[in-house]
């Protein structure tokens, strides 16, 4: 269903003290070709933050963003959950 769009939720936990990690995560989101519908940032404790990122885009582009963010040094957990797929209106 590559012609359609997917809604997905990316959940990450990362080291709050990792140098410039938060900015790298934001930069990846801004340069992506998918819609970032919503982000939520939670301070879990003194060292760790959790973010949920709600995404809309082509499945391959969403997977690319997931792998790029998940591969950053300091990201301790990264899970992508597909919520829905639908066809684009012509």
Query: Looking at 1-90, which runs of residues are DSSP E strands?
Result: 5-15, 35-43, 48-57, 75-86
Q: What is the dotted CATH code of the domain comprising 5-82?
A: 3.30.70.1150
Q: Per-residue pLDDT tens for 35-86?
A: 999 999 999 999 999 999 999 999 999 999 999 999 999 999 999 999 988 7
Q: Above 60 in pLDDT, residue 90?
A: no
Confidence at residue 1, expressed as pLDDT on a 0 to 100 scale = 43
Confidence at residue 55, expressed as pLDDT on a 0 to 100 scale = 97
Domain ranges within the chain, ordered by starting residue: 5-82
- Say what the alpha-carbon torsion angle 75, 49, 8, 63 is, to the nearest 10 degrees: -10
On whether the CB atoms of residues 65 and 10 are closer than 8 A, the answer is yes
Confidence at residue 10, expressed as pLDDT on a 0 to 100 scale = 98
The closest of 69, 63, 62, 79 to 22, measured between CA atoms, is 69
């Amino acid at each position: 269903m590559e012609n359609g769009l997917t809604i997905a939720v990316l959940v990450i936990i990362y080291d709050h003290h990792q140098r410039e990690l938060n900015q790298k995560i934001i930069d990846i989101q801004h340069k992506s070709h998918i819609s970032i519908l919503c982000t939520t940032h939670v301070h879990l404790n003194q060292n760790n933050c959790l973010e949920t990122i709600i995404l809309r885009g082509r499945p391959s582009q969403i997977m690319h963003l997931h792998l790029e963010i998940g591969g950053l040094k300091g990201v301790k957990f990264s899970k992508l959950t597909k919520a829905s797929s639908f066809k684009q209106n012509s």
